[in-house]
């Protein structure tokens, strides 16, 4: 496929290598808003990993030019309705995942099942922790928010989550709200854990990315899958066909 990379940081560069190794052609790169000026390239798909405040404009620029777009940028979801309206108006194609790793998407299912099992066990207090590299712009991570939404949808005991500043295992629980601790450590690609603790025991589930290859591989798979489709899609659409 002829791929346009939007965002050429850590993910964009990983995608560049992997796309070429898989026989795709990277026809261009957009790494700042002004790179759209005088844009004349022909691309079959765009893969977008930029930054929260840039994502929506990049989607609109793709829809305007008839380029299907796969995006993994986090912390732009307040603009979801604007994206969806523009996608529909332009009969575009859009694929979004807060985390493209297949392992994380299996972990999402595990999280939902554990949340269901915990619905009748109020002696267990829940807390979540995510750890990422020091350059990360958003907190909590998009993946942590997806995990939290999975808990809320599958366990009515919890009403909401909140961003907690520091690990504080004693007394951190607000009534029916659970904390997400967002930690930043040099070089960590992405680790997410959920802990259910009672006075007797603990259950902890963790997903730990070893690098960025799993994210990029999932985004490339989504780009191939999106060809010829119109509408708004996510990992559940892709995985149910496998
Ligand atoms: N969904 C997933 O599986 C994953 C999502 N991410 C998310 O992807 C995003 C990017 O992550 P990284 O590559 O680690 O960040 P990064 O900071 O290394 O790279 C971002 C790049 O975007 C560029 N940029 C800034 N403004 C732009 C604009 N208007 N148009 C296009 N590019 C622009 C920057 O120059 C930079 O090179 C973040 O939001 C991160 O949370 C990261 C890894 C996996
Ligand atoms: O910024 C990152 O690096 C990552 N961002 C995504 C997120 O916010 O969940 C996915 C992954 O954890 C890496």
What residues does each domain of the chain span? 2-100+212-239, 102-208
How would you class 173 by CB atoms within 10 Å of its CB: exposed for 0-12, middle for 13-18, buried for 19 or more?
Answer: middle
Q: Ligand 1: which residue has its CA nearest to atom 26? A: 32
82, two tokens: 């604007």
Nearest to 118, CA basis, from 154, 161, 144, 172: 154
What CATH superfamily classification does 2-100+212-239 receive?
Answer: NAD(P)-binding Rossmann-like Domain (3.40.50.720)
- In this prediction, residue 73 carries a pLDDT of 98
121, two tokens: 């066990």
Nearest to 215, CA basis, from 104, 108, 125, 69: 104
CA–centroid distance, 99 to ligand 2, in Å, is 7
Global pTM reads 0.96
- In this prediction, residue 167 carries a pLDDT of 52
Predicted ipTM beyond 0.95:
yes
CB of 155 shorter than 6 A to ligand 1: no
CA–centroid distance, 204 to ligand 1, in Å, is 30
CB of 104 shorter than 6 A to ligand 1: no
- In this prediction, residue 165 carries a pLDDT of 67
Tell me if 194 sits within 8 A of 128, measured CB to CB: yes
- In this prediction, residue 242 carries a pLDDT of 76
CATH code 3.10.20.90 for 102-208: no
- In this prediction, residue 106 carries a pLDDT of 96
CA–centroid distance, 140 to ligand 1, in Å, is 16
CA–centroid distance, 214 to ligand 1, in Å, is 16
Q: Ligand 2: which residue has its CA nearest to atom 1? A: 136
Scanning the structure block, which residue is given the tokens 């996608």?
Answer: 87
Mind telling me the catalytic residues?
A: 132, 136
Minimum-distance ligand 1 atom for the alpha carbon of 97:
1
Minimum-distance ligand 1 atom for the alpha carbon of 33:
29
- In this prediction, residue 175 carries a pLDDT of 74
The reply to whether 102-208 shares the fold of 2-100+212-239 is no
Rounded to whole angstroms, the Cα distance separating 152 from 160 reads 7
Tell me if 12 sits within 8 A of 49, measured CB to CB: yes
- In this prediction, residue 170 carries a pLDDT of 52
Q: Kindly list the averaged pLDDT for each block of 10 residues, start to end, along the chain of length 242.
A: 98 98 97 94 96 98 97 98 98 98 97 97 95 97 98 96 70 76 96 98 98 98 97 96 80
Rg (Cα) of the chain, in Å, rounded? 19
Rounded to whole angstroms, the Cα distance separating 139 from 135 reads 11
């Amino acid at each position: 496929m002829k791929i346009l990379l939007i965002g050429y940081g850590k993910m964009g560069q990983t995608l560049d290598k992997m796309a070429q190794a898989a026989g795709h052609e990277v026809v261009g790169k957009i790494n700042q808003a002004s790179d759209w000026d005088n844009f004349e390239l022909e691309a079959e798909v765009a893969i977008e990993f930029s930054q929260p405040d840039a994502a929506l404009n990049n989607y609109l620029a793709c829809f305007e030019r008839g380029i299907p777009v796969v995006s993994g940028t986090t912390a732009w979801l307040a603009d979801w309705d604007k994206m969806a309206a523009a996608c529909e108006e332009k009969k575009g194609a859009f694929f979004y995942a807060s985390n493209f790793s297949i392992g994380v998407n299996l972990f999402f299912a595990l999280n939902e099942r554990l949340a269901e099992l915990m619905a009748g066990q109020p002696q267990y207090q829940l807390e979540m922790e995510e750890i990422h590299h020091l350059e990360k712009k958003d907190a909590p991570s998009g993946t942590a928010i997806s995990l939290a939404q999975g808990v809320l949808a599958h366990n009515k005991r919890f009403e909401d989550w909140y961003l907690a500043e520091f690990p504080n295992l004693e007394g951190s629980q607000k009534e029916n709200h659970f904390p997400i601790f967002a930690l930043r450590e040099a070089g960590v690609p992405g680790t997410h854990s959920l802990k259910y603790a009672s006075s007797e025991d603990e259950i902890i589930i963790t997903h730990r990315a070893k690098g960025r290859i799993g994210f990029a591989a999932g985004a490339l798979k989504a780009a191939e899958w999106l060809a010829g489709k119109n509408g708004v899609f996510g990992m559940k659409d892709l995985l149910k066909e496998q």
